[in-house]
Amino acid sequence: MSDDLRELPLRERKKLRTRRALAETALRLFTERGYDATTLDDLCDAVEVSKRTFFRNYRSKEDVALAADSDLWSAYLDRVAVARLDGPLLEALRAALNATLEDMDPDWERRFLATRELSESVPVLQSHSLGYCQDTTRAMVETLAGRSGAGVDDTCLRLTVEIFVASWRTACLRWTAQGGQGGRDGLTDLIERTFALIPDALTCAA
């Protein structure tokens, strides 16, 4: 994931730099001044880019705020697409998630925590973030269904993926509430414990 490759054409390098500066500065401004209180003009001013350029890099104000989320999901999808995935699906998906988390850029963790905190406190970001989860779910179901042929019940497959994502979000929520305690390992740990709770969750009494 650490693609600091200076071996790109100069144009690509510049563009990538701009992309990163936008995401980085956006996260800082949104956190410092608040999401609504920060206009895109403010952001573009700070990065010294025109608004038009912003929209060539990100589709919306929400998108740039959730860049760290997006990075994770796209890395995860890539991995699932090529991974072997043997044994119980739910377990395999979790293993792939752990592997993806370990492979993320060292700086990603900090950005991700800030993004999660922001997302918790801004409803529109929350919704948008859930939209990402949904898109990822859909893509995963397609990938997995295509791979195992028509042998697997579609509803069952979808349900598995939905439960996977629900567990991830539950773990993630707690991690964020703890201020990202334990860093990446802490998160992995919470994921493991949350998944272990699933059987209890199905049977626990009111």
Partner DNA sequence: GGCGACAGTGCCACTGAGTGGCATTAGCTG
Partner DNA sequence: CAGCTAATGCCACTCAGTGGCACTGTCGCC
**Residues of this chain that bind DNA (CB under 7 A):** 9-12, 14-15, 18, 38-41, 48-53, 55-57, 59-62
- We find the least distance from the C-beta atom of residue 52 to DNA, in angstroms, to be 3
- We find the least distance from the C-beta atom of residue 60 to DNA, in angstroms, to be 3
The entry of a second copy, DNA, none near residue 57 (CB within 5 to 8 angstroms by kind) is: DNA
Residue 131 interacts with a second copy (CB under 8 A)? yes
Q: Please, which of residues 56-95 interact with a second copy by CB under 8 A?
A: 85-90, 92
Q: Which is nearer to a second copy, 21 or 163 (CB)?
A: 163
Q: Which is nearer to a second copy, 30 or 175 (CB)?
A: 175
Residues 6+ apart with CB under 8 A from 163: 90, 198
Contacts 24+ apart (CB under 8 A), 98-102: 98/188, 98/191, 100/72, 100/75, 100/76, 101/72, 101/184, 101/187, 101/188, 102/184, 102/188
Q: Which of 42, 139, 165, 184 binds a second copy (CB under 8 A)?
A: 165
How far the first Cα of the chain sits from its last, in Å, is 44
CA angle 69, 70, 76 (to 5 degrees): 95
- We find the least distance from the C-beta atom of residue 54 to DNA, in angstroms, to be 8
Q: Which is nearer to a second copy, 7 or 155 (CB)?
A: 155
- We find the least distance from the C-beta atom of residue 24 to DNA, in angstroms, to be 15
- We find the least distance from the C-beta atom of residue 47 to DNA, in angstroms, to be 9
Residue-by-residue DSSP string for 56-82: HH-SSHHHHHTHHHHHHHHHHHHHHHH
**8 A C-beta contact, residue 109 and residue 72:** no
- Rounded-to-integer distance, Cα 101 and Cα 184, Å: 7
- Rounded-to-integer distance, Cα 118 and Cα 64, Å: 12
Binding site for a second copy (CB under 8 A): 85-90, 92, 123, 126-128, 130-131, 133-134, 144, 148, 152-153, 155-160, 162-163, 165-167, 169-170, 173-174, 193-194, 197-206
